[in-house]
Structure 1
Amino acid sequence: MHHLDGTKCSFLLCVGISIAICSFIYLRTGSPTEPQPQGGALACRSLPSECRAFEPWNEQGAERHCQNCQVENYILNYHLNCSNMTRDLHFIMRPLSDEEEAYPLAFILTVHKELELLVRLLRAIYAPQNVYCIHVDAKAPREYRKALERLVSCLPNAFLSRRSETVTYAGFSRLQADLNCMKDLAMSRVKWRKVVNLCGQDFPVKSNLELVQYMKSRKWRDRNMTPGVKQPLTMRHRTQLQYKEITGSHVAPLGKGIMKGPPPHEMKIYFGTAYYALTRDFVDFVLKNQLAQDLLEWSKDTFSPDEHFFVTLNHIKDAPGSNLEGGWSGEIRAIKWRDQERTAHNGCKGRYVRDICVYGLEDLPWVIEKNSMFANKFESRTFPEALDCLEQWHRDKVLKQAAVAIEPQWMLPVPSCHSNTSAYNSGAEEMTTGFMPKS
């Protein structure tokens, strides 16, 4: 009898302990979370004091409209309602001036990661009169592509390129990705004037108005920007030897240094950046002219052909908008190269990746003072404060230059969640230049 009583007590004790453990696990992990309403406010990351001290809204007393800051979660987790999305993510859905509306631009964005940074880049450069082609790497995660499909479905002048490449660093696939978008843009109903290419880790320094004015300037209005020079001796191996692209991995010499034949049509090969601003007529030349097609075919087994293809074509006298004596002119990108420390810049305050600086907060004064069209490169997770500050500085400048009344949802969120647009709608006030050195 005592033995049965002991067994019963032990059984009840075990049951009690099991119930307690299950209840604890359920409360910690098993209880369903409440779905957050679409457009609900999520946590904003506070701006560093070094950033806030220079912001014009801080000096002028304007406070901000606070909404969803976590753009990646918003795009990934919500069934998007387009009007809510453009409002909650602060897209500017009206032309800000007649000058910009009369000079639409085209943009090519080649991307494969950093969804949050891409969305923030797109909203920074977005204007309804422009057109945007996004090339998504074929090896990007399916969820990433689906998120971008949802995003562009809400933007009538943005689309994903019809053909996707598996892009390899320094491979022909990188050049082909741009050409895929060029083919799509050539069929666009938007009468764009020039096309600019971007990667997912770029961010603008100039406003859209400043980009238009720069491209319309006397120096550039009928010309292409392809910064570069005659191919230096140190770079000739890129086009004198044959290379093979290991899809999605790397580019390697073919065999033990197999030599290539000379360039077609006795072209002189130039070397430059992979970034450009090209006229529409030049894009037609790239896509249809036999010289361009022959150079493209010859370039398929070269190393990093995107760094010689466009700049070489831009030095052909008969090419539309050619710039034979351009050299490195054209302030397309602010980049801190490792080998230019103490000559072109004061060192990288973030970190170097492939000898290019990923910007930290202390790099921003140099970026803003250089005043290039765009800056490269940023990482939203490694140095988020640098992107936060530049984004606020850029949007403040955009709104200050606007020739229309400012809508509250155009202002980016900050920890102070109130709306006051008076400081922006006063066109007579001078724009504070943020990190620019004061005279």
Structure 2
Amino acid sequence: MGKEPRDPLKELLLSVEDGDAEITHLPEQGQTRLAIVLFTVLLFASGLTYFLLTLPAEVRVHRVVLTERLNESPYFKRPFGTNDLKCDWVMDGKHKEYVEKLAKNRYRIEDPDNFDDLPGDCASIRSRHRFPSSPTTPDEADFPVAIARNVFKDYYYMELMLAATYQPQNYYCYAIDKSADHLFRARIKALAKCFPNVMVAQEFREMDSAGHRMDLAHIDCLKMLTTPEKKWKYVMLLQNHDFPAKTNFEKVAIFKWLNGSNDIELNPEPGRVNKSLDWSLTKMKIFKDPKKLEKIMTAWKSTAPPKITFAKGYNEISISREAMDYMFNELDLTNLMNQVDDGKTYGIDEIVFPTLLSMDLLGIPGHYTQKCIDEDVSSGYITRHSNWGDRGTCSSGHFRHSICIYGIEDLATHIDPIPAIYVNKLMPDFDFNAVTCWLEVLYNRTFIEKPTLARLGREYYANLKHVRYQALKDEHGEVSEEKRKNFKCK
């Protein structure tokens, strides 16, 4: 049987994925074969180029090309193709015609399909952005945060978002979807090698738009993040295109105002869980220490055994370190996760964490209550903002799966004022000018302007339902039956 011909590009990608090699140029061997392939590709590309040039400007997508290292500068380093963009005009509210022109001719990008056009060595990555080597403020130094993000595409966008919120005291973990291409995987892994506080989950889960295995992917990251030497205070669970709306300084202030409560959106569970199955705490074996269940059973008054009572909320949440440690040290989620995520039900990623973090019975630090679900009152929530079908607050007029995709015309009016920490969505293949200008806003607020909380309303965050409920807890983290009964959900 003959030897399989070598594929230098494939070998390069696999070597980066395995952690055995740095990113380099293609080896000389095999270049003849590659030249033939490239010639064929160029013939096809000539026809494709003609097609692209005849497209209207607003739907043309550009590939990123960043081959030169940028000079050191204290100011924001503009991404590929945006050097002439006037972001101050976009944000000042005085140049409506300019913003309309940008909206009419949106600039769209996608990742290049080779390493040479977007070098992945650490020196190149660091030259493209500003990654501070020390905390920007004392408040941020004393309050590290972590991010666990499920990802599958748009590497350059990921790199930009990391730079936008990067602090050396924080921690960042990426869980890569199994469907992501090899080049994306290699780039994310190369990025993580450049920073001691950036990591990649070892397992690639088969995630999908129905939410299957999303929680498991987040848990892969959480296990890496929740080790004794990593001293973060809150962790955010995010998805691929969740975009920062606040600076890290503002984020820290908001988390302090949460006062130890976990930030979850909460609604009644809409029938996604098979209630005919046995969800009793005994069957789920939810507690690692049997004595905890015995204590609950001793005080239990109902004839029906205590069981998991379900809730629904967004997958994107913020969890305190105390809550995360408790869940890993005191709870065994194996049976619950396996029985909830059956591989068939839609939106299953919106069940487990909202359920666990709203059950008083489990005693998780910072938990909310399901009392408000019983009263059919939705909870407020500030981890991430999504616009579901409201055209009045979506100036771009563009929706994908009923969610607004924000454009350049939304930044000053709809992104800047929102109280949420992240926003869903700003996307590079829809409006990269919008992505760039908001990144410049965050950069200037972080490094150029004096840090301020003037844009935040502390009272708003203090009056969130889960924050008010947290204030009712005693020194044991419990709310008395009387206080729970009198708690106002509205």
TM-score, structure 2 as length reference: 0.62
Residue 431 of structure 2 aligns with which residue?
A: 383
1:240 aligns with 2:288: no
Instruction: Pick one of 222, 226, 233 that aligns with 2:264.
Output: 226
Deviations 1:252-271 (A, max 9, x none): xxxxxxx5455654222111
Q: Equivalent of 1:322, from 367, 388, 402?
A: 367
Match for residue 304 of structure 1 among 347, 363, 370: 347
2-side partners of 1:359 and 1:75: how far apart?
A: 29
Instruction: Quote the residue 2:396 is aligned against.
Output: 349
Answer yes or no: is the 8 Å Cα contact 1:111–1:134 preserved in 2. Answer: yes
Q: Deviations over 1:91-146 (max 9, x none)?
A: 23321011101111011111001112111111112111001111111221111111
| Aligned mate of 2:132, from 92, 99, 121 | 92
After superposition, the CA RMSD in angstroms is 3.5
Q: Partner of 1:211 in structure 2? A: 251
Alignment partner, residue 155 of structure 1:
195
Any idea what SS the aligned residue of 1:334 has?
Answer: strand
Counterpart residue number, 1:336: 387
Q: Deviations over 1:220-255 (max 9, x none)?
A: 121111111232xxx22x1137xxxxxxxxxxxxxx
How far apart in 1 are the matches of 2:334 and 2:367?
17
Aligned to 1:7: none
CA drift of 1:399 comes to: 1.9
Work out whether residues 239 and 316 of structure 2, in 8 Å CA contact, stay in contact via their aligned partners in 1.
no
* C-alpha displacement of 1:150: 1.4
Q: Give distance in 2, aligned partners of 1:91 and 1:54.
A: 25
**Superposed CA offset, 1:39-74 (max 9, x none):** 158853246557535369x9xxxxxxxxxxx99559
**Alpha-carbon distance in 2 for matches of 1:303, 1:368:** 32
Q: Which runs of 5+ in 1 are unaligned?
A: 1-21, 30-34, 59-69, 242-258, 404-426, 434-439
Q: How has the CA–CA distance of structure 1 residues 75 and 387 changed in structure 2, closer, same or farther, with 3 Å as cutoff?
A: farther
Partner residue of 2:91 out of 54, 62, 65 = 54
Contact 2:119 2:125 in 1 (8 A): no
Q: Does 1:268 align with 2:309?
A: yes
Contact 1:71-1:119 at 8 Å conserved across structures: no
Unaligned ranges ≥5, structure 2: 1-38, 47-64, 72-78, 96-108, 282-305, 373-377, 457-490
Equivalent position of 1:76 in the other structure: 115
Contact 2:238 2:315 in 1 (8 A): no
1:289 aligned partner, one-letter code: E
Q: Tell me if the contact between 1:162 and 1:184 (Cα under 8 Å) persists in the aligned partners.
A: no
Correspondences of 1:101-140 after superposition (within 5 Å): 101-140=141-180
Separation in 1, partners of 2:327, 2:84 = 44
State the alpha-carbon separation in 1 of the partners of residues 92 and 177 from structure 2: 36
How many equivalent residue pairs? 341
Quote the Cα distance in structure 2 between the aligned partners of 1:396 and 1:228.
35
Q: 1:385 to 1:287 in 2, by over 3 A?
A: same
Structure of higher CA gyration radius: 1
Say if 2:417 is the partner of 1:369: yes
Paired with 1:328 and 1:135, the residues of 2 have a C-alpha distance of: 28
- Tell me the amino acid that sits aligned with residue 336 of structure 1: N
Task: Please give the alpha-carbon distance, in whole angstroms, between the structure 1 residues aligned to 2:454 and 2:367.
Answer: 36
Deviation at 1:184, TM superposition (A): 0.9
Considering Cα pairs closer than 8 Å and 6+ residues apart, tell me whether 1 or 2 has the greater RCO: 1
1:165-184 alignment runs, 5 A limit: 165-184=205-224
Using the TM superposition, name which of 96-105 and 300-309 deviates more. Answer: 300-309
Distance 1:377 1:115 in 2: 16
- Residue 109 of structure 1 aligns with an amino acid whose one-letter code is R
Give the SS at the match of 1:134.
Answer: strand
| SS of residue paired to 2:237 | strand
Instruction: Name the % identity.
Output: 21
Question: How far apart, CA to CA, are the structure 2 residues paired with 1:71 and 1:40?
Answer: 20
Match status 1:45 vs 2:75: no
- State the alpha-carbon separation in 1 of the partners of residues 387 and 443 from structure 2: 23
Aligned with 2:169: secondary structure? coil
What letter corresponds to residue 226 of structure 1 in structure 2? I
Using the alignment, how far apart are the partners of 2:189 and 2:179 within structure 1?
Answer: 16
**Whole-angstrom distance in 2 between the partners of 1:139 and 1:313:** 29
For residues 196-232 of structure 1, give each alpha carbon's deviation from its aligned partner in whole angstroms, at most 9, with x where no partner exists.
Answer: 0122211111110111111111xx121111111232x
For residue 178 of structure 2, give the secondary structure of its aligned residue in structure 1. Answer: coil
Matches within 5 A, 1:407-418: none
Shift in Å at residue 355 of structure 1? 1.3
For residues 301-354 of structure 1, the C-alpha deviation after alignment (integer angstroms, 9 at most, x for no partner) is 24323211111111122111112268522312121101xx26xx5345242111
Q: 1:282 to 1:214 in 2, by over 3 A?
A: same
Distance (Å, rounded) in 1 between the aligned partners of 2:218 and 2:152:
14
Distance 1:357 1:215 in 2: 26
Cα 1:81/1:320, change in 2 over 3 Å = same
Residue 6 of structure 2 aligns with which residue? none
Alignment of 1:289 onto 2:335:
no
